[in-house]
Structure 1
């Protein structure tokens, strides 16, 4: 019982961390687009965004497929689980361009080279859309927790 509760709590806290981190990253990107010079805030928020994603994958995988919750059959036949996974995939697809750019930034900064902030405004928008998708994932998760079904 304690493991079930702990996994659920960590999973929910990872949503909160991810939501905060991606919105903070988006705001920091927007400040860079407006001429700010400090990229560290973007990178720190991005690190926390990545940590939350790992926590969500691990705890979610354990809960759905590790025998800690309602069972794999429940999740595979639950429409809200499919919605939640679709939203997660959308986030991953949206994340490709910012992720590649931020890897390049980290390499450039480690070498003392300048970074290209030309797409910071776009990445701010992407981050904020990802925040909305995280919220929608939480809505889907609460429906799943209450056994909401369709049909």
Structure 2
């Protein structure tokens, strides 16, 4: 019981940290025109990455590790499917920014100036990821209350 509670708390804190990280990274990317902001962007990006790992690991443990309602419940819950769809979309959207930020880190270490022309695009991607993260929170809170979104349900 105590472990379930702690696991749930860590999972919820992961959402808060993820939201702060992706909002911070997006804000910094929106105004990024020189390499001055890159260290802060890299810190926010690292926070986003760590929080994503925390969410995936704790979420997997909760759904399929025998700590909560069990995999059968989650696999038959429409809100779980919504949450997982949002997660997959977030991960797919993250491919381009992640690859660019890796290239930017490499360029800085090599002493060259990275091409920052797509920073605004990555900020817009972050905004969409933020919306999807909020969708995940709504889906999770609905699942916690047993909302099934079945036809004719109240």
Unaligned runs of 5+ in 2: none
Q: 1:37 offset after TM fit, Å?
A: 2.9
Aligned to 1:20: 20
Aligned to 1:30: 30
TM-score (norm 1): 0.96
TM-score (norm 2): 0.94
Q: 1:97 offset after TM fit, Å?
A: 0.3
Q: For residues 88-123 of structure 1, give each alpha carbon's deviation from its aligned partner in whole angstroms, at most 9, with x where no partner exists.
A: 000011101000000111111112211110001100
1 CA distance for matches of 2:37 and 2:114?
Answer: 11
Q: For residues 17-74 of structure 1, give each alpha carbon's deviation from its aligned partner in whole angstroms, at most 9, with x where no partner exists.
A: 00010010000001104x5732111110000000000000100000000000000100
Give the count of matched residue pairs. 150
- Is residue 90–residue 129 contact of structure 2 (8 Å, CA) maintained in 1? yes
Unaligned runs of 5+ in 1: none
- Is residue 35–residue 113 contact of structure 2 (8 Å, CA) maintained in 1? no
